[in-house]
Amino acid sequence: MERNYVASSNIGSIGYDEPSQTLEVEFLNGSVYQYYNVPQGLYDQLMQEGSKGRFLHAYIKNSYPYSRV
C-alpha cells in the first residue's frame, strides 16, 4: 500500500486503501499497523488534523480491528 509522509511527532506515514477500507499507519519507531473497516470520511478527517497521533488515538486506535504488519 502506498503511504504518504506526514508531519507528526509519532507517525511517519499514512496510507489508505479505499476498496478494503484499510488504513495503514507507519510509526516513527518503524512499526506498521493496519486498521480495518475505517470509513473514507474518517481517513479524510485524519489527514486534515493538525495532530494526527491524537486523532488516531481518540477515534481509530480502540474503535477498529487492527493488526501489526
DSSP states of 2-48 as a string? -EEE---SSEEEEEEETTTTEEEEEETTS-EEEE-S--HHHHHHHHH
| Domain of residue 21, residue span | 3-68
Stretch 9-17: mean pLDDT: 97
Stretch 16-42: mean pLDDT: 98
- Rounded to 5 degrees, φ, ψ at 24 are -115, 130
What pLDDT is recorded for position 18? 97
Mean pLDDT of the chain: 97
Reported confidence tier of residue 49, pLDDT bands at 50, 70, 90: very high
- Model-level pTM? 0.95
Stretch 30-40: mean pLDDT: 98
Instruction: Return the ∠ at Cα 23 (arms to 26 and 27), rounded to 5°.
Output: 15
Number of domains comprising the chain? 1
Q: Which three cell numbers stand for residue 29?
A: 519507531
